[in-house]
């Protein structure tokens, strides 16, 4: 049985008050735009869906079946051919957070465990969605089952996510004991809950990325996905030299880093390559999320409003070319 003081260690287990305190940080974040929302509610997010709405998109030649009310009479008179206006509809964009809370996430060499870092990323983004008035949904994967939170608006949706993350996190006790559903199955499960047009953030260490390509491609067909790869710095490379002791909470062993460092680093690179390949094939945005003690600055660099403004300015000055 896990001791109570260990449960209260904020670097090892999520603390509800710490997650709630991320609200000011979340209000400084700007989440990405969905590709093609098919929700029927009006919202603040422009999509690539062309239809009748408030924002003018383009003019094109009139086609049979077009609404005659959208004909652009000035262009038609000038060209002597009928042209019609197209608009970008402003539609609602639900935010969906898929968080990995399995045993492999229960690891950390400094600052905090991967599971805690992942929870903090998810909740900060949930607060950002709350501030934007978006609906917030979530799926949390553990070795003992899944938590499914249907999309809802407001502070209560964030609180429900916080409580679910804390509950899932407290079930973790040993990184060596891993069972239950795979990451591929988790992504597959997302298809039954995540509606078309959602903005999905998948937060995981991707330790079992084998087989995720097909379900990731399928989910990405109707949702805009960002994969946040959470990893500890010690997973990239062992200490340069010497012997060190590792433990799973019950047993201990001594490792000579010199003897295995090359193979150890090669395994991480192989994992990174597999995740990158899966993201490229599915046209999914991939972001490295190394565990650090400075979550605020990392999130502001990745999703901060100032960085978004700089990116927009760069796009304008470069003629829209990335």
pLDDT in tens, 216-256: 999 998 899 999 999 998 888 777 767 777 776 677 888 77
Residue 196 in tokens: 């078309």
Strand partners, 61: 83
Mean confidence (pLDDT) of the chain: 82
Say how far apart CA 62 and CA 214 lie, in whole Å: 39
Percent of the chain surpassing pLDDT 70: 80
Q: Give the residue with greater pLDDT, 114 vs 45.
A: 114
- Report the pLDDT value the prediction gives residue 248, as an integer from 0 to 100: 64
CA distances in angstroms from 76 to 59, 79, 81, 82, listed in the order given:
10, 5, 5, 5
3-state secondary structure 127-182: HHHHHHCCCEEEEEEECCEEEEEEEECCHHHHHHHHHHHHHHHHCCCCCCCCCCCC
SS (H, E, C) 205-239: CCCCCCCCHHHHHHHHCCCEEEEEEEECHHHHCCC
pLDDT at 50 over 50: no
What is d(CA 94, CA 223) in angstroms, rounded to the nearest whole number?
A: 10
Question: Strands 136-142 and 95-100, how do they pair?
Answer: parallel
Hey, what domains does the chain have and what are their CATH numbers?
Answer: 4-35+92-317 (3.40.50.410), 47-91 (no CATH)
According to the model, what pLDDT value does residue 60 have?
Answer: 86
Kindly tell me if the per-residue pLDDT of 13 is higher than 70: yes
- pLDDT tens-digit series, residues 69-113: 888 999 999 999 999 887 665 556 799 999 999 999 999 888 899
Higher pLDDT, 246 or 322: 246
User: What is the separation of C-alpha 274 from the centre of its chain, rounded to a whole number of angstroms?
Assistant: 18
CA atoms within 13 A on the CB side of 159: 3
What is the distance of C-alpha 51 from the center of its chain? 29
**pLDDT of 201 strictly over 80:** yes
pTM: 0.76
Give the whole-angstrom CA distance, residue 47 versus residue 249. 49
Q: How confident is the model at residue 166 (pLDDT cuts 50, 70, 90)?
A: very high
7 pLDDT higher than 70: yes
23: confidence class by pLDDT, cuts 50, 70, 90: very high
- pLDDT of 37 > 80? The answer is no
At how many degrees (to 10) do helices 114-132 and 295-303 cross?
A: 50
Q: What is the largest CA-CA distance in the chain?
A: 83
Looking at residue 218, its pLDDT comes to 93
Judging by beta carbons within 10 Å of its beta carbon (0-12, 13-18, 19+), is residue 44 exposed, middle or buried?
A: exposed
pLDDT single digits (tens) 250-309: 778 887 777 677 777 788 888 888 899 999 999 999 999 999 889 999 999 988 875 544
Residue 56 CA to residue 85 CA, distance in Å, equals 7
Q: How far apart are CA 284 and CA 217, in angstroms?
A: 8
| Closest C-alpha among 251, 230, 239 to residue 295 | 230
Banded pLDDT at 2 (limits 50, 70, 90): low
């Amino acid at each position: 049985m896990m001791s109570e003081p260990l449960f209260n260690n904020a670097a090892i287990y999520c603390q509800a008050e710490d997650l709630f305190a991320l609200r000011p940080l979340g209000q400084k974040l700007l989440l990405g735009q969905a590709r093609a929302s098919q929700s029927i509610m009006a919202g603040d997010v422009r999509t690539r869906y062309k239809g009748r709405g408030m924002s003018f998109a383009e003019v094109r030649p009139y086609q049979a079946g077009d609404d005659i009310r959208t004909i652009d009479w000035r262009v038609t008179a000038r060209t002597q051919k009928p042209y019609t206006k197209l608009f970008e509809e402003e539609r609602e964009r639900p935010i969906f957070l898929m968080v990995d809370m399995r045993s492999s996430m229960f690891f950390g060499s400094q600052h905090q465990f991967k599971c805690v870092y992942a929870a903090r990323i998810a909740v900060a983004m949930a607060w950002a969605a709350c501030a934007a008035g978006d609906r917030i949904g979530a799926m949390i994967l553990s070795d003992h089952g899944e938590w499914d939170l249907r999309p809802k608006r407001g502070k209560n949706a964030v609180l429900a996510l916080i409580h679910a993350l804390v509950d899932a996190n407290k079930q973790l006790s040993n990184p060596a004991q891993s069972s239950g559903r795979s990451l591929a199955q988790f992504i597959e499960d997302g298809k039954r809950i995540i509606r078309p047009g959602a903005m999905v953030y998948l937060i995981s260490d991707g330790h079992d990325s084998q087989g995720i390509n097909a379900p990731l491609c399928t989910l990405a067909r109707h949702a805009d996905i960002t994969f946040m790869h959470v990893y500890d710095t010690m997973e990239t490379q062992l200490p340069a030299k010497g012997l060190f002791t590792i433990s799973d909470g019950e047993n201990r062993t001594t490792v000579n880093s010199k003897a295995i460092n090359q193979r150890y680093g090669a395994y991480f690179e192989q994992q990174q390559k597999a995740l990158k390949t899966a993201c490229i094939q599915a046209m999914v945005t991939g972001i490295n999320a190394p565990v650090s003690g400075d979550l605020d600055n990392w999130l502001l660099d990745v999703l901060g409003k100032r960085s978004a403004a700089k990116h927009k300015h760069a796009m304008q000055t470069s003629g829209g070319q990335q």
